[in-house]
Amino acid sequence: MLAESCIFCKIIRGEIPSQKVFENDEVLAFLDINPLSTGHTVVIPKRHAERLADLDEDWNAALGRVIGRLSKLVVSVVAAEGHNVLQNDGAVAGQVVPHVHYHIVPRWASDGLGYRWNAKSANADELTQLAQRIRAAL
């Protein structure tokens, strides 16, 4: 099911043009119109879902199969030194378009994009308790 006003659903329906690089029954991938780097590709499910939790395992698996294969190809085509695969889930995480999507962003040492990962030390007991809670929720 597609949403009437969603920009990505409009791309799926062909109402908004895109530079498609991959398409099957479940997934569409196209070049980002505001790329962070050459080859920046957006990968979306061909079903409207705002958050990852809104997709069932089959849809998430379909995305995963395409992302792995397409990442390798995009990196090769643009001769990138590496790449990021990004998925922002929810506005607080930086999601702008409320439709599940992944970004494949080719990277070069000189691209100036940078990367921020503000890691901090974790308490071993807290990690143990949290891991137990997550396992129990499965």
Structure tokens, 85: 């695969």
Long-range Cβ pairs for the range 81-84 (8 Å, 24+): 81/107, 81/108, 81/109, 82/106, 82/107, 82/108, 83/107, 84/115
- Catalytic site includes residue 101: yes
Q: Which of 48, 83, 99, 101 is catalytic?
A: 101
Q: For the chain, how many helices (H) and strands (E)?
A: 3, 5
Beta bridge partners of 22: 29
Q: Residues with catalytic annotation?
A: 101
